[in-house]
Structure 1
Amino acid sequence: MIIRLLPMTLVMAIIFFLSNTPGKDLPSAINGLDKILHAIAYGTLAASCLYGIHPAARDKSSLRTGIAVVFFCFFYGMTDEFHQSFIPGRSPSWLDIAADATGAALTVLVWHGWRARGFISRRLRKTMGSC
């Protein structure tokens, strides 16, 4: 079970490492590109969280599981923005938090939709359940 949490822990560590980079060391971004990168990063975090949740709990109530994952990612995004307030050249942004939550929510919606329509096959569920 612990091994299922490794991808989530790795993604969280990468996000922390990137947010710990001083502002002067960051490349200048195309306007709005940083929000897309935030959404991708937190969508990846949401996917790794969904993978890390024990299959029995995940299958019990996929909607409740999805909501919990989005709230977890939202909370981690808030703490990440707070952390950035201590990094030279960086500042917290509510728009970044919104992009984080949007990326997580889109990932959970796609996952929930796949489950509801049967795109995640029984065989894959059995394979994931044996981990």
Structure 2
Amino acid sequence: MEANRASFRIVLRWLPAVACMAIIFALSARTGGELDGWLPWARKLFPGLETFDPVHYVAYFALAVAFAIGFGFGRMNAWRCLLVLVLSVAYGATDEWHQSYVPGRSPDWGDLLHDGIGAAVAVAAIWLWRRARLLASSKNYSGS
């Protein structure tokens, strides 16, 4: 019975990652014409950045956080942070490959770079959060 609960908790922890990957897949399956309706609106927010697509940063930031939740957010160490970054970029690469089959879309190294930047910012934030928590708990433990 306890093993079933533990397994269920593990599945629940990974659901955000699965949901993020499904959303990214669904968005990348949209044709170029479908995207033309909202990309100009997003680019108006950032004048002068014609090639800027904030969705990549947000999506892969969220995916990296979701992977960290799957691995156990409170147990993120350097190796797990690196693994989260590698998994995020690897998923970004598969997403770019997927787009090569979508009409009006093509793989783009720049998009993969933006995916990696979004994931790296998330990993850096997770790492800093974890280090701050460890520092705070060591100060509390030492009685300071």
Q: Which consecutive segments of 4 or more residues in structure 1 shift more than 6 A?
A: 119-122
Superposition deviation, residue 33 in structure 1: 3.5
Residue equivalent to 1:89: 104
* 1:118 alignment partner, SS class: helix
Residue equivalent to 2:88: 73
Superposition deviation, residue 81 in structure 1: 0.3
Worse-matched range after superposition: 25-34 or 44-53: 25-34
Superposition deviation, residue 24 in structure 1: 0.9
CA distance in 2: counterparts of 1:21 and 1:38, whole angstroms: 14
Larger Rg: 2
Alignment pair present for 1:32 and 2:16? no
Superposition deviation, residue 70 in structure 1: 0.4
Superposition deviation, residue 121 in structure 1: 7.3
Alignment pair present for 1:4 and 2:13? yes
Alignment pair present for 1:23 and 2:41? no
TM score, norm. by length of structure 1: 0.83
Q: CA RMSD in A?
A: 2.0
* 1:47 alignment partner, SS class: helix
State how 1:33-48 maps to structure 2 within 5 Å. Answer: 33-34=52-53, 36-48=54-66
CA distance in 2: counterparts of 1:120 and 1:79, whole angstroms: 38
Consecutive unaligned residues in structure 1, runs of 5 or more: 123-131
Residue equivalent to 1:109: 124
Q: 1:83 to 1:120 in 2, by over 3 A?
A: farther
What is the letter of the counterpart of residue 69 of structure 2? Y
TM score, norm. by length of structure 2: 0.75
Percent identity between matched residues is 36
Tell me the matched-pair count. 118
Greater relative contact order (CA < 8 Å, ≥ 6 in sequence): 1
